[in-house]
Amino acid sequence: MPPGARQPADADPIVGIDLGTTNSLVAFCRPEGGGTPEILPDSAGRSLVPSVVRYGVGGTPEAVGAAARELAVEFPERTLHSVKRLMGRSRADAERTGDLAYLPYRVVEGPNRTARIELPPAGEGVGGRVLSPQEVSAVVLRALREQASAALGVPVRRAVVTVPAYFDDAQRQATRDAGRLAGLEVVRIVNEPTAAALAYGIGLGRRREETIAVFDLGGGTFDVSILRVTPRDAAAGGGGAADTDFFQVLATAGDTHLGGDDVDRLLVGLFASEISAQAGRELSFPPATRQALRRLAEQAKIRLSEQETASVRIDTGGGAAYERTVTRGEFERLIGPWADRALECCSRALRDARLKPGEVDRVVMVGGSTRIPLVRRRVGELFGAEPYTALNPDEVVALGAAVQGAILQGRLGDMLLLDVIPLSLGIETVGGAVAKIIMKNSTVPTQASEMFSTSVDGQTSIKLQVLQGEREMAADCRSLGTFHLAGIPPMPAGIPQVEVRFLIDANGVLNVSAFERRSGKRAALQVVPNHGLTREEVERIEAEALAHARDDMTRHRVADLVANAKLDAKWISDRLAKVGPKLELAYFVDLSRRVEELRALTARAEADWRSVDPNAFHRMKEDLDRASVRMHEVSIAESLREG
Ligand code: AMP
């Protein structure tokens, strides 16, 4: 092959791997995906591979991932998890930081004082095998490599692998070696916070220097990093090719033993003490019971991220049970001090970076525990900015590693620039029509808002479906997500005033919020809308819109007419029922007939929009409106008399 010629990208793909303490993931940017990274799941559709390996009695790997974790309790000394805590470190160092206390297997000192893992003796007089953390990580990496090869249908040999920002040279080198042992060339080691930022397109094609905070709160560890992103051409040395060298870590802080597990423990503590109180004596909970309590606690915690309350019920024997409902407020009071610990780390990192919270432009959320609403709120308050939560917090690091892989393959040059909105964005309205709120080709950042109302009397919740595309009906557009604005007090249809605001920031992240003015209720959704479309796809969507333009317009018009005609018919027949006896009989009969005719036509239009002539439909509705004027006059006169 002549020098400089580009290989077809899929022939030798560079995947992105998040090699985590608890879980690992692999992702890839398909060339046809327009720069959108996607997770490559295993054959069962699971994306997370637990970073767990079980060794057989002979000292060879016997199970990896979910299969190894499932039986971890049965083989604690042979099931190796959290080896990332030992990578490239000396045993003494790992002991000093308290990591060894959390590991159920034996950690011994190897050559150059490195931390090694000793498996239990293989038999009488036969010592246990001693493994390096790199070897164990290699087993996980090999599983990810095989998973990626199967998903892509080609052998995978190259990867970008992420590490925490605070990893030193030895820890980075150990990660590279683990890759080599797994048959992977680690073409780049990337800091996890940098990867998280890349997943949101931060640093791609920007013109302005930005300061980013990445808040990574997982199951067992917490890291916060403050990064400076310098645009390519402004960075010293330039370097030419698109690269990520311009993410500079200004400061990191964290706590290697702070995470969602602590929240589970707090809830277990609450339940355990109340169960004891109910029993009237201090109960001791055997490990299996504690484990069951932990699982219930975690489930309750996860429910409380979505709901205002979570209930648990535990049989306490002899027909008795402990039943408990935890409210969001109570939960937040319980975990407040825990959240404070993470926020104190943020303040420390800001101090180290010599920055005030307001000087941080963007905050990116990573790790499962950032789904907790209190965490999001507190982080938002500290930095004075809505944190980025559109991507799955478990996947964002792997997705960013895949973006880095695509950059290294020279592929992101083809990616759509996020500087303009390639397709219009809007919401679904009643009848399945689309109300476009931001038009295609708007430059980012941009924002727009529109007022909406309810379509049914007493409606207390509104479903908002966010759509992308040029067609007039929701079914023909791409749905970007759905959310609900709930808790609206019951009012007649059309009375609530719901302001729907679309805001797209410089990275193309869309924030949609809905605000009901009378009740003050709010709801919001974040999405990354323009990822996932190649130039060809955008062109195809536009061509389709053009081809269907006339039909689509008619359909949209009929949908709007149906919605309005229903409201009118209801409004008028309600009034008719009230003031009918006060009207001349002929007028009453005529108006009733017109209402029925409009209803019949509306029903026909709803069943098949092509079966009606929208102009005739419109005329019939207008005629009824005009004909009903006198009834309204009588109705008003009546109500004045009553009043
Ligand atoms: P990670 O290490 O990033 O995979 O994060 C795992 C942690 O996130 C565990 O403690 C989970 O219990 C927690 N987690 C996952 N989903 C949720 C959720 N919806 N709400 C609260 N915590 C969650």
Residue whose tokens read 């109500």? 639
pLDDT of residue 436: 94
Q: Does 14-258+337-419 carry CATH code 3.30.420.40?
A: yes
For ligand 1, what atom is nearest to the CA of residue 367?
3
Residue with the smallest CA separation from ligand 1 atom 22 is: 369
Q: How far apart are CA 161 and CA 178, in angstroms?
A: 10
Residue 307 has pLDDT above 70, yes or no: yes
**CB-CB contact of 134 with 171 (8 Å):** no
Residue 463 has pLDDT above 50, yes or no: yes
Q: Give the CA radius of gyration of the chain.
A: 30
What kind and span of H or E run contains 367? none
Residue 102 has pLDDT above 50, yes or no: yes
**CB-CB contact of 572 with 595 (8 Å):** yes
CB atoms within 10 A of CB 237: 7
What does the pLDDT average to over 61-79?
Answer: 90
Q: List Cβ neighbours of 223 (8 Å cut-off, separation of 6 or more).
A: 164, 165, 166, 192, 193, 214, 216, 252, 253, 254
Pocket flag, ligand 1, residue 428 (CB < 6 Å): no
Write down the mean pLDDT value for the chain.
89
Q: Which of 176, 241, 166, 154 has the alpha carbon at shortest distance from 204? A: 241
Pick among 1.20.58, 1.10.10, 2.60.40, 1.20.1270: CATH of 549-642: 1.20.1270
Gap from CA of 218 to ligand 1 centroid (Å): 6
Helix (H, G, I), strand (E, B) or coil at 144: helix
Quickly state the pLDDT bin for 527 (edges 50, 70, 90).
confident
Cα 493 to Cα 95, 332, 433, 459, distances in angstroms: 66, 36, 18, 7
Pocket test for ligand 1, best of 302, 326, 365, 377 (most atoms within 8 A of CB): 302
What does the pLDDT average to over 341-359?
Answer: 96
Helix (H, G, I), strand (E, B) or coil at 408: helix
pLDDT of residue 6: 36
Pocket flag, ligand 1, residue 260 (CB < 6 Å): yes
pLDDT digits (tens, 9 = 90+) for 11-46: 799 999 999 999 999 999 987 766 789 999 998 899
For ligand 1, what atom is nearest to the CA of residue 366?
3
| Least confident range of 109-113, 326-330, 369-373, 409-413 | 409-413
- Known catalytic residue: 361? no
pLDDT digits (tens, 9 = 90+) for 528-545: 765 556 667 777 877 888
Quickly state the pLDDT bin for 418 (edges 50, 70, 90).
low
**8-state DSSP, 241:** S
Residue whose tokens read 């992977």? 184
pLDDT of residue 635: 79
**CB-CB contact of 79 with 67 (8 Å):** no
Q: How far apart are CA 203 and CA 127, in angstroms?
A: 52
Q: How far apart are CA 419 and CA 504, in angstroms?
A: 10
Q: Which of 103, 124, 94 has the alpha carbon at shortest distance from 52? A: 103
Pocket flag, ligand 1, residue 305 (CB < 6 Å): yes
451 backbone dihedrals φ, ψ, rounded to 5°: -95, 140
Quickly list DSSP for 39-56: E---TTS---EESEEEE-
pLDDT digits (tens, 9 = 90+) for 477-503: 989 899 999 889 999 988 899 999 999
| For the ranges 241-250, 509-518, 550-559, the one whose mean pLDDT is highest | 509-518
Residue with the smallest CA separation from ligand 1 atom 16 is: 368
Pocket flag, ligand 1, residue 164 (CB < 6 Å): no
Pocket flag, ligand 1, residue 400 (CB < 6 Å): no
Q: Which of the following is catalytic: 99, 210, 216, 264?
A: 216
Q: How far apart are CA 446 and CA 443, in angstroms?
A: 7
Pocket flag, ligand 1, residue 368 (CB < 6 Å): yes
Q: How far apart are CA 343 and CA 213, in angstroms?
A: 12
**8-state DSSP, 451:** E
- Known catalytic residue: 216? yes
Pocket flag, ligand 1, residue 369 (CB < 6 Å): yes
Quickly state the pLDDT bin for 10 (edges 50, 70, 90).
low
Q: Which of the following is catalytic: 42, 99, 177, 192?
A: 192
Pocket flag, ligand 1, residue 221 (CB < 6 Å): no
Percentage of residues of the chain with pLDDT beyond 70: 93
Query: What is the separation of C-alpha 546 from the centre of its chain, rounded to a whole number of angstroms?
Result: 33
Measured in Å, how far apart are the chain's first and last C-alpha atoms? 91
Quickly state the pLDDT bin for 92 (edges 50, 70, 90).
very high
Quickly state the pLDDT bin for 437 (edges 50, 70, 90).
very high
Residue with the smallest CA separation from ligand 1 atom 3 is: 367
Of 441 and 280, the one with more pLDDT: 280
pLDDT of residue 621: 92
Q: Output the six-digit token pair for 385.
A: 């900015």
Q: Which of the following is catalytic: 18, 42, 428, 472?
A: 18
Residue with the smallest CA separation from ligand 1 atom 6 is: 219
Pocket flag, ligand 1, residue 301 (CB < 6 Å): yes
Quickly state the pLDDT bin for 317 (edges 50, 70, 90).
confident
Q: How far apart are CA 129 and CA 77, in angstroms?
A: 12
Residue whose tokens read 């019949």? 600
One-letter identity of residue 443: T
How do strand 425-428 and strand 462-468 relate by DSSP bridges?
A: antiparallel
Q: Output the six-digit token pair for 633.
A: 């006059």
Residue 353 has pLDDT above 80, yes or no: yes
pLDDT digits (tens, 9 = 90+) for 116-146: 999 998 777 788 899 999 999 999 999 999 9
Q: List Cβ neighbours of 309 (8 Å cut-off, separation of 6 or more).
A: 325, 326, 327, 328
Pocket flag, ligand 1, residue 193 (CB < 6 Å): no
Residue with the smallest CA separation from ligand 1 atom 14 is: 368
pLDDT of residue 234: 55
Q: Which of 503, 496, 511, 513 has the alpha carbon at shortest distance from 452? A: 496
One-letter identity of residue 493: A
Q: How far apart are CA 596 and CA 570, in angstroms?
A: 11
For ligand 1, what atom is nearest to the CA of residue 368?
8
Q: Which of 308, 307, 309, 312 has the alpha carbon at shortest distance from 324? A: 312
For ligand 1, what atom is nearest to the CA of residue 220?
2
Residue 340 has pLDDT above 90, yes or no: yes
Residue 604 has pLDDT above 60, yes or no: yes
For ligand 1, what atom is nearest to the CA of residue 263?
10
Residue with the smallest CA separation from ligand 1 atom 8 is: 368
Kindly list the domain boundaries of the chain, sorted by start residue: 14-258+337-419, 260-335, 425-532, 549-642
Pocket flag, ligand 1, residue 397 (CB < 6 Å): no
Of 606 and 73, the one with more pLDDT: 606
Pocket flag, ligand 1, residue 50 (CB < 6 Å): no
Q: Output the six-digit token pair for 7.
A: 């290989």
One-letter identity of residue 348: R
Q: Output the six-digit token pair for 628.
A: 């009903």
Quickly state the pLDDT bin for 318 (edges 50, 70, 90).
confident
For ligand 1, what atom is nearest to the CA of residue 305?
20
Q: Which residues pair with 467 in a beta bridge?
A: 426, 479
Gap from CA of 327 to ligand 1 centroid (Å): 19
Helix (H, G, I), strand (E, B) or coil at 415: coil
Q: How far apart are CA 582 and CA 158, in angstroms?
A: 84
- Known catalytic residue: 192? yes
Q: How far apart are CA 395 and CA 192, in angstroms?
A: 11
Residue with the smallest CA separation from ligand 1 atom 19 is: 302
Pocket test for ligand 1, best of 49, 255, 307, 369 (most atoms within 8 A of CB): 369
Pocket flag, ligand 1, residue 223 (CB < 6 Å): no
**CB-CB contact of 13 with 33 (8 Å):** no
**CB-CB contact of 513 with 450 (8 Å):** no
Query: What is the separation of C-alpha 192 from the centre of its chain, rounded to a whole number of angstroms?
Result: 17
Gap from CA of 294 to ligand 1 centroid (Å): 13
- Whats the size of the chain, residue-wise? 643
Q: Which of 30, 31, 34, 9 has the alpha carbon at shortest distance from 535? A: 34
Pocket flag, ligand 1, residue 261 (CB < 6 Å): yes
| Backbone angle region of 200, left / alpha / beta, with phi > 0 → left and psi within -120 to 50 → alpha | alpha
- Known catalytic residue: 315? no
Cα 236 to Cα 188, 232, 246, 333, 403, distances in angstroms: 20, 9, 9, 48, 23
Alpha-helical runs (H) found in 89-246? 91-96, 133-152, 169-181, 192-199
Residue with the smallest CA separation from ligand 1 atom 2 is: 218
Fold type of domain 260-335? Actin; Chain A, domain 4 (3.90.640)
Domain with residues 425-532, CATH architecture = Sandwich (2.60)
Gap from CA of 72 to ligand 1 centroid (Å): 20
